[in-house]
Chain A
Amino acid sequence: MDMMLHILAPELLLLASSMALLVGDTFWEKRYPALTFQLALVSLVMIVGVILATFSTESVQLFNGGFIRDGVADVLKVSMLLMTVVVFVFARDYLLVRGIERGEYYVMGMISLLGMMVLASAYDMVSLFMGLEIMSLALYAMIAMHKNSSTAVEAAIKYFVLGAMATGLLLYGMSLIYGVVGSLRLDQIYQAVSIAEPTLVLSMGLVFVIVGLSFKFGIAPFHMWVPDVYHGSPTGITIFLAAAPKIAAFALMFRLLIEGLESTIVEWQSLLIILAVVSLLVGNIVAIAQTNLKRILAYSAISHMGFVLMGFIAGNIDGYAAAMFYVVIYGLMSIGAFGVILALSRHGFEADNIADLAGLGRRNPLMALIMLVLLLSMAGVPPLVGFYAKLVILTQLVEVGMVSLAVFAVVMSIIGAFYYLRVIKAMYFDEPAADMMDAGFATVSLRYGLMMVGALVLVLGILPNGMLSLFAQVMMY
């Protein structure tokens, strides 16, 4: 029993602390309004500590293979937890100003995080599915929490309906795979699939699974919800949507396609190539026509997810490690970019149009500089980490001989640089409208947090090797 508890400790602690906060918040909500927020941060940081203290690259299975704790799961969990901490700090002021800051935001965020952690260490299809549902259900409710905003409710309904459909497709694919293999456990699926000849049923199941995954990932042509949901949700919740759930989606794809069905790579590789190409096209070209910053970031998310897919397409351990590196870095950059929008917004003003950033270089040089660093990093400009993330993916592609795909990705990135540069131009060269005030309303924690994110993007860009070799190492086992 002792063994079991320390392996499961992160999940158990997260569940226990979110339950405690859920109950406790009703008692202290009026007297100590900030207590739930503070305790949520303390418990998340504590869980990071627990994971780091018990970190090992060995893999241990529990519950008949329903749960696995290995290096990949631990690395993903730590990055999800840290991102959630940062998101809570960044979003609090925005939510307070709009009167939607409630204890349940943090509780539901933590339960959603629990679902993501379950996903990261799921080793059979049932727990994969349960983790996915816990994560998604909390996200739908968090978006709809802003009841007075019709755009938020619309975004929540769109996300809910399409997400439910994606879940249905994923489940149908899983049931077909179960029909062929006769087991839900990923290792047994792996064995059965690598021995047996590929049948039509398996391919059909695979197609359904990939379509469901693409919905969750926000990959074109299953991306329709991404811009609407990113745009419609309150920014304090978009920032949560844009970071950790992407890492969870990576975990889902990694567990299902690599740990479960890697031997059918010939079948899913070509599918993923099509999806990646379409994502890069849609993400980079449609974004040019957008004037809303949140929509631009949504389309940029689509094209970034195309890059993550290319790591899977490479089909070797280094490729998967590169994809993992990319998705974590993407999460960091998008938290930063949405954080700047949060920092510039104030009551009745969302700061989410490009025009709202006009002249930011003079009005608030610090925020403009951070936004500049983040956008250049997303565009893939050399000293920054976004460049390095793209580079490792492309290197892997070239090594397995997919040069044309790599060239296509580079061309698309150059086209994509246009819309990042357009925002930068607005910040530094456009005249602000006459009635624009100074943009210095951000709280101290938000300002310093953004400075740290910006610095991290720069430092990791110069010294990426430590993180990358860690990722490659945990993938080995």
Chain B
Amino acid sequence: MGIEKLLFYVFAATAVLASLGVIGSRNPVRAALFLVLAFVATAGIWLLLQAEFLGIVLILVYVGAVMVLFLFVIMMLDINLTPLREGFTRYLPLGAVVAVVVLAEMSLVLNPQFFGLEHFPSPVALAAGDSNTKMLGQLLFTEYLYAFELAAVLLLLAIVAAIVLTLRRRKQGEVLYQDIGAQVRVQAADRLTMVKMPAVVAVKEDNKKESDDE
């Protein structure tokens, strides 16, 4: 058994066990960390397939960014898990039946009879200098340019949708914003009210008396 095969089995076993850990662990933080482990193992498999760019991106984007955010959210939300686990036994038989059916269907189809080496020969080993990144880039900007641009539209739409759904514009007066234009434009008449009053005010008689008594 070559070292590559050994590494593949190690990574694959780690990925499967970690995935089981994701759905099996009671603590959500631990489940998220198992997911990180599954991603790392998958990145290892990518590397074995000579797709080093994808492997690195998986680590950087998923492990580095997405999962960290995810952990933040889990820790901030302080989810109470007991209501989530209610009904587990009630739905277990149905879920088990569905799982068995799906497993049977998949093993019927995804087996060496259809996807064996005679149908899909193992990929040719690339020369030492070949860059996976360059190859991907060339494909993205030639053959899949249209889909690439559409993906950009999709991401932009996601940003717009996220802002629309979360931005809550407060009512005027509820929160105070600085409007520099208004501050510059303001005239004295807007802020100050000039009140006309007689310059000399006659002092009333009783007031005068009181002050005399003292």
User: Contact residues of A with B, CB < 8 Å?
Assistant: 15, 22, 62-64, 66-67, 102, 104, 107-108, 111, 114, 118, 126-127, 130-131, 133-134, 137-138, 140-141, 144-145, 147, 176, 179-180, 199-201, 204
Contact = CB atoms under 8 A, between A and B. Distances in A.
B184 interface: no
Contacts, number: 71
Interface of B: 105, 108-109, 114-115, 142-147, 150-151, 153-154, 157-158, 160-161, 164-165, 168
A118 B109 contact: no
Nearest to A137: B157
Contacts of B165: 141, 144-145, 147
A56 B143 CA distance: 26
Given A114-B153, A201-B115, 14 more contacts: A15-B153, A63-B145, A102-B164, A108-B161, A111-B160, A130-B151, A131-B150, A134-B150, A134-B154, A141-B157, A141-B165, A176-B109, A201-B114, A204-B105
Contacts of A176: 109
Contacts of B164: 102, 104, 108, 141, 145
Contacts of A102: 164
A200 B151 CA distance: 32
Most chain B C-beta atoms within 10 Å of own C-beta, residue among A63, A127, A145: A63
A150 B164 CA distance: 17
A447 B74 CA distance: 51
B153 A126 contact: no
Contacts of B109: 176, 200-201, 204
A384 to B, nearest CB: 38
Contact of B160 (A64, A104, A200, A204): A104
B160 A130 contact: no
A130 B161 contact: no
Nearest to B158: A137
Contacts of A147: 165, 168
Nearest to B114: A201
13 contacts: A104-B160, A104-B164, A108-B160, A108-B164, A133-B154, A134-B154, A137-B157, A137-B161, A138-B161, A179-B115, A180-B114, A200-B108, A204-B105
A118 B146 CA distance: 10
The 8 A-B residue pairs whose C-beta atoms are closest, nearest first, are: A141-B161, A63-B146, A66-B146, A130-B150, A126-B147, A104-B164, A201-B114, A204-B109
Given A102-B164, A145-B165, A138 B157 contact: yes
Most chain B C-beta atoms within 10 Å of own C-beta, residue among A22, A64, A127, A130: A130
A95 to B, nearest CB: 13
Nearest to B113: A200
A147 B167 CA distance: 11
